[in-house]
Amino acid sequence: MPNFSPHRQHPTLIKLGSAIRQARIDRGIAQEKLALIAEVDRSYVGRVERGDNNIAILTLEKLAHAMEMTITELVKLAKI
């Protein structure tokens, strides 16, 4: 489904998505496994990692928890 959000590829979303991707890779977690643990769709994780989706705070919390992190740690990693 195309994303027509005016926030798509916003620099902050790109930084956050990159931080999520890096944290996931550092932990040796495949995108599909992260999605399964966080109970979100795998394609959604990909869109978030690319900065294509303006992630909801509750979903960010799910992803952080699935990687045994806090939202604060992810934001610090993203340097935003």
Instruction: Report whether 12 contacts 80 (CB < 8 A).
Output: yes
Query: Which pLDDT does position 7 carry in this prediction?
Result: 73
Query: Which pLDDT does position 8 carry in this prediction?
Result: 82
Q: Look up residue 71 and give its two tokens.
A: 């939202």
CA dihedral 16, 52, 10, 7 (to 10 degrees): -130
Q: How far is residue 16's CA from residue 1's CA, in Å, rounded to a whole number?
A: 21
What is the pTM for the complete model shown? 0.90
Mean pLDDT of 58-71: 98
What residue ranges define each of the domains in the chain, with the CATH number in brackets?
A: 11-78 (1.10.260.40)
How crowded is residue 49: how many other Cβ atoms within 10 Å of its Cβ? 24
Per-residue pLDDT tens over the stretch 6-16: 778 999 999 99
Per-residue pLDDT tens over the stretch 30-47: 999 999 999 999 999 999
